[in-house]
């Protein structure tokens, strides 16, 4: 029997509906929901387009969107201090509940140093290290969006009733007795995913490019997450029949037709004959990641309303 496809676009759409309802409820209780985004503008760049689309999406969900522009001019280039100051200002502003920083930052500015200045409870991208630490320690937390997308997609399969109920860290463990394997141990995606899987009480195996006999490890996986950044790395014979397979890979590969294609880390056609559930690329983790940012925005606003901070 072929795998059921986990449709990330459809699931993201469901989440957006829930987010819209939560925003309305929050406004009904006298609250506000706003995303404050910071962007460094230096001529044309992709972030600008992304920010415009983000503004539109927020608008359709009832979320206010405020874009803070920092201009970088050839003879007055923006420095770390300029950006850090702006982030600190937003972090300490009581009217701000959700902050994101558009990338890339100008050359020479340490992105990590900027991100750790975002107040943890407003850090809707989950990039402040305190947020991943809070997940390790089992505290309610804003998880990194890609890792959260993966967890929500697994949840959609194994515990569909739970979707959208609270944060990744606070959710009830759903993977007891299951073996979850994450192929790829990068700092931004692989390691945070492994931590979130531990949070859900799975037996977690974190693999990297040095793992010997990878196939013998992945074949143990009830849940298999491919986050290695290698097109087609996970093939059918590496997958346990019936496993849930989530493909995080986004690889641009030139095809025989000379055009660029986006391929995942999973060899889709073969694996779809073995896996029980499989997320495609594109249309899987990608759209869910975008939705998770907005999920974190409404969650941060809800939490502020509850705690009064």
Residues near a second copy, by CB under 8 A? 112, 116, 120, 128-134, 136-139, 176-177, 179, 185, 187-188, 191-192, 194-195, 198, 201, 203-208, 210-212, 217
Query: What is the dihedral angle through the alpha carbons of 240, 242, 244, 250, rounded to the nearest 10 degrees?
Result: 70
* Beta-bridge partners for 67: 37
Closest approach, Cβ 262 to a second copy, in A, equals 26
- Which residue, 57 or 179, is less far from a second copy as judged by CB? 179
* CB of 112 or CB of 166, closer to a second copy: 112
109 three-class SS: coil
Shortest distance, position 206 Cβ to a second copy, whole Å: 4
Residues 272 and 290: their CA atoms lie apart, in Å, by 25
User: What 8-state DSSP symbol labels residue 238?
Assistant: G
**Min. distance of Cβ 147 from a second copy in angstroms?**
11
Residue number with CB closer to a second copy (189 or 246)? 189
- Which is closer to a second copy, CB of 118 or CB of 288? 118
What is the CA angle 278-263-107, rounded to 5?
120
- Residue closer to a second copy by CB (options 33, 127) is 127
The span from the CA of 176 to the CA of 153, in Å, is: 17
> Quick count: other Cβ atoms within 10 Å of Cβ 264?
28
d(CA 122, CA 147): 18
* Residue closer to a second copy, measured from CB, 136 or 236: 136
Smallest CA-to-CA distance from 65 within 294, 306, 288 is with: 294
Q: Tell me if 96 sits within 8 A of 124, measured CB to CB.
A: no
CB of residue 51 vs a second copy: minimum separation in angstroms? Answer: 25
Q: How far is the CB of 52 from a second copy (least distance, A)?
A: 30
User: How near is the Cβ of 135 to a second copy at its closest, in Å?
Assistant: 8
Distance, C-alpha 81 to centroid of its chain: 28
């Amino acid at each position: 029997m072929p795998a059921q496809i986990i449709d990330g676009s459809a699931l993201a759409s469901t989440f957006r509906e829930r987010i819209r309802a939560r925003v309305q409820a929050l406004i009904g209780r006298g609250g506000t929901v706003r995303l404050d985004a910071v962007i460094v503008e230096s001529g044309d760049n992709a972030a600008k387009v992304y920010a415009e689309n983000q503004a539109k999406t927020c608008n359709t969900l009832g979320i206010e969107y405020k874009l803070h522009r920092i201009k970088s001019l050839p003879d007055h280039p923006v420095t770390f201090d300029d950006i850090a100051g702006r982030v600190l200002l937003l972090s300490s502003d009581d009217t701000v509940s959700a902050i994101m920083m558009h990338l890339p930052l100008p050359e020479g500015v340490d992105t990590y140093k900027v991100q750790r200045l975002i107040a943890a409870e407003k850090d809707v991208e989950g990039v402040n290290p305190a947020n991943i630490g809070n997940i390790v320690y089992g505290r309610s937390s804003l998880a990194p969006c890609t890792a959260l997308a993966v967890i929500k997609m697994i949840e959609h399969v194994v515990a569909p009733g739970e979707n959208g109920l609270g944060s990744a860290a606070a959710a009830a463990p759903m993977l007891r007795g299951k073996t979850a394997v994450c192929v790829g141990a990068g700092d931004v995606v692989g390691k945070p995913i492994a931590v979130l899987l531990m949070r859900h009480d799975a037996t977690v195996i974190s693999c990297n490019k040095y793992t010997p006999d990878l196939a013998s490890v992945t074949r143990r996986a009830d849940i298999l997450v491919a986050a290695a950044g290698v097109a087609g790395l996970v093939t059918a014979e590496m997958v346990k029949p019936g496993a849930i397979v989530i493909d995080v890979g986004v690889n641009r590969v030139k095809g025989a037709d000379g055009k660029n294609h986006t391929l995942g880390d999973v060899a889709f056609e073969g694996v779809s004959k073995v896996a029980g559930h499989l997320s495609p690329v594109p249309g899987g983790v990608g759209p869910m990641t975008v939705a998770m940012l907005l999920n974190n925005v409404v969650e941060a606003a809800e939490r502020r309303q509850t705690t009064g901070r």
